[in-house]
């Protein structure tokens, strides 16, 4: 069993962002493998649905940002998407990279490494629950409820998952800073919260932790891992897991106690 919800005292978990986006094109097999080999405790990845309801690992809602293609992912079939080169934009050496199916990633990760699955709904009707139910179906079928955190900006989707499967670990994404983070999280019954490092203080982190919620810093992409130690968080999201671990394990100096 992969245990991501317990850790040694003072040890901050490393979450490889989109696999390891600093080392390989995000959300590809190469990035997932690099994240695993770089010592991440969890791998974060993005999941959305194709037109024919295949769950795929891809972040952007259109192909424009990386591939210069204006088509919407949700309007394309899996057959169309699997032919795309999603690696050359990062480096020509990754020209053979293709979009992974979520079911295949689950099969690869089972017994190997925990996952943070970030649901990307895009523009959907309020009653549309296809993405969260499809993701949950695949996670349950893979026998990986104890190896996955499901996170989202969409609190309604998380509440639907909670109602159907109370034992799965849910993670709320919070941004910007809210006056009552515990109140914002309560309806979801989440056990994780992801928050930008610039939007949280040590007192808030402690209040969340005292309520049994693990706090993960995201958008910590400037090498400022000293701030993570100062805040006392449980996890950080990192584009390069090995570099993050090395930074976090540097000897603590007097300045590390400063905000």
Catalytic residue among 59, 121, 155, 230: 59
Number of H helices, E strands in the chain: 10, 9
Token pair belonging to 6: 């317990």
Percentage helix, strand, coil, to 5, in the chain?
Answer: 35, 20, 45
Beta pairing, strands 42-49 & 55-57: antiparallel
Active site residue 59: yes
Q: Which of 78, 45, 79 is nearest to 59 (CA)?
A: 45
- 62: DSSP letter: B
Q: How far is CA 163 from the centre of its chain?
A: 21
Distance CA 22, CA 26 (A): 8
Beta-carbon contacts of 250 under 8 Å, excluding residues fewer than 6 positions away, are none
> 84-122 as b/e, with b when 16 or more CB fall inside 10 Å?
bebbebbeeebeebebbbbbebbebbeeebbbbbbbbbe
17 flagged as catalytic: yes
Token look-up 């893979």 returns: 142
* β-bridge partners, 4: none
Count CB neighbours of 250 within 10 A: 11
Residues noted as catalytic: 17, 59
């Amino acid at each position: 069993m992969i245990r991501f919800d317990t850790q040694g005292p003072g040890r901050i978990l490393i979450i490889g962002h989109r696999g390891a986006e600093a080392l390989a094109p995000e959300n590809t097999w190469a990035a997932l493998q690099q994240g695993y080999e770089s010592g991440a405790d969890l791998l974060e990845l993005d999941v959305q649905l194709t037109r024919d309801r295949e769950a795929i690992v891809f972040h952007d809602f259109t192909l424009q940002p990386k591939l210069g293609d204006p088509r919407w992912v949700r309007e394309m079939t899996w057959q169309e998407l699997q032919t795309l080169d999603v690696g050359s934009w990062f480096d020509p050496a990754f020209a053979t990279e293709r979009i992974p199916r979520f079911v295949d990633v689950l099969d690869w990760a089972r017994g190997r490494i925990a996952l943070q699955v970030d649901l990307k709904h895009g523009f959907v009707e309020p009653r549309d629950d296809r993405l969260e139910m499809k993701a949950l179906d695949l996670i349950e079928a893979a026998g990986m409820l104890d190896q996955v955190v499901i996170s989202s900006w969409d609190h309604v989707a998380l509440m639907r998952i909670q109602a159907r499967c109370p034992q799965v670990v849910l993670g709320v994404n919070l941004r910007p800073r809210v006056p009552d983070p515990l109140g914002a999280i309560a309806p979801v019954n989440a056990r994780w919260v992801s928050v930008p490092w610039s939007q949280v203080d040590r007192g808030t982190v402690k209040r969340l932790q005292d309520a049994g919620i693990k706090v993960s810093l995201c958008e910590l992409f400037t090498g400022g891992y000293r701030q993570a130690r100062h805040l006392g968080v449980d996890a950080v999201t990192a584009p390069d897991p090995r570099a993050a671990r090395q930074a976090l394990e540097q000897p603590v100096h007097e300045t590390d106690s400063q905000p």
